[in-house]
Amino acid sequence: MPHYRGRFAPTPSGPLHFGSLVAALASYLDARQAGGEWLLRIENIDPPRCVPGAADAIPRQLAAFGLHWDGPVLWQHDRDAAYRTALESLIARQLAYPCSCSRKQWRDYPIYPGWCRDGLSEPDAPAAWRLRSDRGLRPVTWEDRLFGHQHFDPALLGDVVLQRKDGLWAYQLAVVVDDADQGISDVVRGFDLLDNTPWQRALQHALALPVPRYLHLPLILGEGEQKLSKQNHAPPIPEDTEAARPLLHAALAALDQRPPAELATAPVAEQLAWGVTHWSVARIRPQSTRRIAAPSD
């Protein structure tokens, strides 16, 4: 088996909340049990979405929970040249094209209909770059480690945006280039990203990149059955390691790992050691969402 390398890749659109903790913890335990590395990447390619202070708070929050990463943090704002090289390689093989259409123009279609594939519909308007989904792309299939066989028809995926009209890189391109450059063997993340994976697989294929394994996790729902998210202001997890203890225990429980009750007051290092030894993906119930009473502090 190739060397295991996992990663946690938060967008600093707010500090980490309990849902992010569950994703970080699963990815950490999976890597450490495999004797692998675990990297941290801050996905800050979209400045308007980044909340001041969040990118600095995230490493402190992880450290409070004992979730120590290997090597330097990778910042997406430093990765412009890598994304550009990838886009240029697609353009050179006619797998990417500029598109000036606005969302409003194709709002009656389920996916972008590819109007600009053979030439810009408005030559003087600002243009985004899109991947051609009609050229040599095979059906996208993979075995998710929790949700099993996945199958997507590229014709139904559409021509995903690679670079936006405002020049910002799209998440799909950035994540694929970074996962490949960082040598990521295993992606472990929330179920909300499962339906992004086909685009990422299609892009890996188009760029001839190695393909990681994927494990998507049930999403944690908070009060009112809403996904915990930075956008809906889920409470941040603490930066204090004492306060982290009961939350770490709750996160192990949310992943169906059945930690002993008395572990809830143990130092985070002890809880993580227990977690690494007992980590079992087979125990996680394959549900897309998980309603738990999210601890509030």
Binding residues for ligand GLU, rule: CB under 6 A, are 9-11, 43, 175, 189, 193
Q: Tell me whether residue 10 or residue 198 sits nearer to ligand GLU (CB atom).
A: 10
Instruction: Give 273's contacts (C-beta < 8 A, 6+ positions apart).
Output: none
CA–CA gap between residue 276 and residue 69 (Å, rounded) = 15
Least distance to ligand GLU from the beta carbon of 163, Å? 17
Cα 21 from chain centre: 13
Least distance to ligand GLU from the beta carbon of 230, Å? 8
Is 257:250 a contact under the CB 8 Å cutoff? no
Q: Tell me whether residue 10 or residue 114 sits nearer to ligand GLU (CB atom).
A: 10
Task: Determine the length of the chain.
Answer: 297
Cα 51 from chain centre: 18
Cα-Cα-Cα-Cα dihedral sign, residues 286, 287, 293, 297: positive
Q: Tell me whether residue 26 or residue 127 sits nearer to ligand GLU (CB atom).
A: 26
Q: Tell me whether residue 45 or residue 101 sits nearer to ligand GLU (CB atom).
A: 45
* Total H helices, total E strands in the chain: 8, 12
Least distance to ligand GLU from the beta carbon of 9, Å? 4
Q: Tell me whether residue 132 or residue 189 sits nearer to ligand GLU (CB atom).
A: 189
Least distance to ligand GLU from the beta carbon of 73, Å? 13
Least distance to ligand GLU from the beta carbon of 13, Å? 7
Q: Tell me whether residue 26 or residue 247 sits nearer to ligand GLU (CB atom).
A: 26
Under DSSP, is residue 42 helix (H, G, I), strand (E, B) or coil? strand
Instruction: Give 161's contacts (C-beta < 8 A, 6+ positions apart).
Output: 99, 128, 129, 130, 170, 172
Interstrand relation of 128-131 and 161-163 (parallel, antiparallel or unpaired): antiparallel
Least distance to ligand GLU from the beta carbon of 27, Å? 8
Q: Tell me whether residue 37 or residue 43 sits nearer to ligand GLU (CB atom).
A: 43
CA–CA gap between residue 216 and residue 94 (Å, rounded) = 32
CA distance to 19, 30, 31, 56, per residue, from 165 (Å): 31, 38, 37, 29
Least distance to ligand GLU from the beta carbon of 175, Å? 5
Is 216:189 a contact under the CB 8 Å cutoff? yes
